[in-house]
Structure 1
Amino acid sequence: MAKTILTVGAGPGISAAVAHRFGAEGYAVGLIGRNPEHSEALVTQLVAQGIPVAFEAADAGNTSELSAALRRLSAKLWSVSVLLYNAAVKKPSDILRLSAEDLGQDFGVNVVGALSSVQTVLAELKQNGGAVLLTGGGLGTHPSPAFGSLSIGKAGLRLAFQLHQSLQPEGVYAELLTINLGVDKGDPASTSAIMAEHF
């Protein structure tokens, strides 16, 4: 049976490396991002390699928009085997000056979108004995007051452990990959390709 990986938060870096890695293993690749232009080069590369790929534009902070995009991708490709949630609002935000409104909007992208995505494709993941993969970060366990919102968001992604407990009896794997170093910042131990291998 054909396999599909759907990635929310598509673009260069980790999501691109994961797309290439899973594509090399015979997966079709579904990509969701806010800006089609940011994923255009990746789609072109995957097509050139003979990897089935489709893209849908959606804001990860808008759950109805996101769910609709996930369903469209599933219909275009095959039943979902793997969901990768790689979306995040990465801007600096002083924790003492962070407004409730901004925190809520960022949390919608950083955490709520992840849970909504899982819920949207859950039936297919169960059917396929699939996997949920979440991109975590060191800020989740070592928060920074200069990145208050993102720190809270990465801590919130520890929902992966709840998902694991709930989904394991259903045959679905859930895991959080916590990345403590800056990716593609010059450290050979922390490249997008290596993160894709971990996933």
Structure 2
Amino acid sequence: MNNNIIIFGYGTGISRALAYRFGKEGYAVGLVARNAEKLEQATLELNTHNIEAYSFSSDLSNIENIPELIKRIKKQFGEIKNIHWNAFHEIEGNLLTTNPLDLTKSFHIRVSSYIATVQACLDDLKRNQGSILSTNGVFSLDLVGIDFVAKEYSSLAIAAAAQYKTTNLLAHTLADSDVYVSQVIVNGFVDGTPGAEDKAYTVHPETIAEQFWHLQQHKKETTVLCGKTIKVA
């Protein structure tokens, strides 16, 4: 089979744009999310645009099910050559109002499930000199100007920061292997998503997908910023 990329946490924003961007370059695409019906619709839509796509319904918060999920994906693709981590738990609010259990769920998806998935795919990724590509947001960065804005989104920011650190550590851990690790930090609300409504500045999903494609082609940078909502020194 030709090159492929498995998108963990498929939705209608960044991951959809990425599926089209990589798909038009000849990549077969695997879509992973909880809603089987929506996944099937997304797969059919991609197929109508001559993109080879397959869907795999799974709740990524159930870590014990990840090895079986990877087996299902490998049964279809043979080997997993690249992965895109786009999964997250919806969470809002500041530290004084957030239910701590929601913080646990958010961390669990962004870090624990992420690591479990990488571990399950790692042998394939090494054999194929593959990539681990991760989506994150600007609130993950530890800068005073960002924290001033992020305080009202601090529940999200904490888990995002943990995911940011996880990706950087994966990059260092795999530096002597042929596996490329990188992340795009989205500096803005994603155009077309509910959170972007009435916002002064948004980032188009296609722009973010193009950034991921650039990283995949050149395999040099570990972290890149996409968007200009908050000034980052």
Which TM-score applies when normalising by structure 1?
A: 0.92
Name the counterpart of 2:53: 53
- The Cα offsets for residues 123-182 of structure 1, whole Å up to 9 and x where unpaired, read as 000000000011010110134233233111110112111111111211111011100111
Is the contact between residue 62 and residue 108 of structure 1 (CA under 8 Å) also seen in structure 2? no
Name the counterpart of 2:220: none
Q: For this pair of structures, how many residues does the alignment match? A: 199
Name the counterpart of 1:190: 203
Is the contact between residue 54 and residue 77 of structure 1 (CA under 8 Å) also seen in structure 2? no
Is the contact between residue 138 and residue 187 of structure 2 (CA under 8 Å) also seen in structure 1? yes
Structure 2: 5+ residue runs without aligned partners? 213-233
One-letter code of the match for 2:203? S
Name which of structure 1's ranges 96-105 and 182-191 shifts more when overlaid on structure 2.
182-191
Name which of structure 1's ranges 97-106 and 30-39 shifts more when overlaid on structure 2.
97-106
Identity of paired residues, percent? Answer: 30
Name the counterpart of 2:162: 156
Secondary structure (helix, strand or coil) at the match of 1:6 reads: strand
2:175 to 168, 172, 181: 168
Answer yes or no: is 1:15 the counterpart of 2:15. Answer: yes
Is the contact between residue 132 and residue 174 of structure 1 (CA under 8 Å) also seen in structure 2? yes
Is the contact between residue 188 and residue 201 of structure 2 (CA under 8 Å) also seen in structure 1? no
Aligned equivalents of 1:67, 1:48: Cα separation in 2? 30
CA change 1:187–1:194 in 2 (3 A) is: farther
Secondary structure (helix, strand or coil) at the match of 1:169 reads: coil
Aligned equivalents of 1:188, 1:47: Cα separation in 2? 32
Name the counterpart of 1:178: 185
One-letter code of the match for 1:86? N
Structure 1: 5+ residue runs without aligned partners? none
Name which of structure 1's ranges 155-164 and 70-79 shifts more when overlaid on structure 2.
70-79
Name the counterpart of 1:136: 136
Is the contact between residue 32 and residue 69 of structure 1 (CA under 8 Å) also seen in structure 2? no
Aligned equivalents of 1:91, 1:179: Cα separation in 2? 17
Aligned equivalents of 1:109, 1:103: Cα separation in 2? 10
Is the contact between residue 140 and residue 156 of structure 1 (CA under 8 Å) also seen in structure 2? yes
One-letter code of the match for 2:113? G
One-letter code of the match for 2:56? E
CA change 1:190–1:180 in 2 (3 A) is: same
Aligned equivalents of 1:193, 1:74: Cα separation in 2? 28
Pairwise CA RMSD: 1.9
Which TM-score applies when normalising by structure 2?
A: 0.79
Name the counterpart of 1:107: 107
CA change 1:20–1:188 in 2 (3 A) is: farther
- Max radius of gyration: which structure? 2
Compute the displacement of 1:119 (Å): 0.7
Is the contact between residue 135 and residue 177 of structure 1 (CA under 8 Å) also seen in structure 2? yes
Aligned equivalents of 1:180, 1:139: Cα separation in 2? 8
One-letter code of the match for 2:176? P
Aligned equivalents of 1:38, 1:194: Cα separation in 2? 24
Aligned equivalents of 2:76, 2:201: Cα separation in 1? 37
- The Cα offsets for residues 97-127 of structure 1, whole Å up to 9 and x where unpaired, read as 3333222122111221111111110000000
CA change 1:99–1:188 in 2 (3 A) is: closer
